[in-house]
Structure 1
Amino acid sequence: MICNESSGTRDFETHWRNHLALSAELPVAGSHGTQDGHCAGWPLPATTWHFKPGNSPLQLVGHAYESVTPLPWAHDMRAHIGGSLLTVEDDIHGSLSILPCASKAVEFFDTGKTSGASCPGAPIPPAG
């Protein structure tokens, strides 16, 4: 999905030149500033997705405070395609698998029942 919609280079040599230039310009964080390399060699051109609501139930999950996939994106996706949004009240991308409320998401796969609830996220570690 990332490469299907990415307008970044499909050419590794171009990606590497861009990576070196950005790393030289921003030595502390420049080597982490691009995703282009993930699509080097991808044979298809960028394609705009055209999502539309379906007829079957759909369970979406979003984390209230995370930056990798911000919650407004989940709200936008739900507005485009429908479904129910289970909101995890934390800032940890992927924490659902270690939380008790994972059962709400897994229930969808077992029964088709969706949840629009919110649930506690990963606990904040004590200050040390």
Structure 2
Amino acid sequence: MSKFTLLMLLFMFLIFDLAKAQNEKLNMSLAEGVLIVGYVDEGAYLNFTGPNVSYEINQSRLALGMLPSLRFKKDTSTPRNSFVTPNLGVGLTYSYKNLAMQIPFYYNSKTSTQNGKWNIGFGIGLKLDK
């Protein structure tokens, strides 16, 4: 856990160091964000990127932020959890033009039989900015 925290803090300092002032122009859009479908912890997820710190250069964007998600996973134990559960993760999202790739981290909390742990995944999706 401490290595993960150290890595995230190091990345945040790097982003803040490279960040530039925001533009003063007003942009209007019908939809904006990133829609990702991926795999984590023997299940799938669907998310839209949430609040984040990002760095843009030309048509590429690297973001570290929150990932409000729906996770899809069949539970085989009894009693069973729902097949679809809301979840909040954190992760890196890279987008180029309209293609996006993501490395999310989701936390599974402690239960009576398992310790809590972070799970890493991978996803691919679309950047929505039209």
Higher strand share: 2
TM above 0.5, yes or no, is: no
Q: TM-score, normalised by structure 2?
A: 0.21
Higher helix share: 1
Q: TM-score, normalised by structure 1?
A: 0.21
Bigger relative contact order, structure 1 or 2, given CA contacts below 8 A and separation 6+? 2
Query: Which structure would you say has the larger Rg?
Result: 1
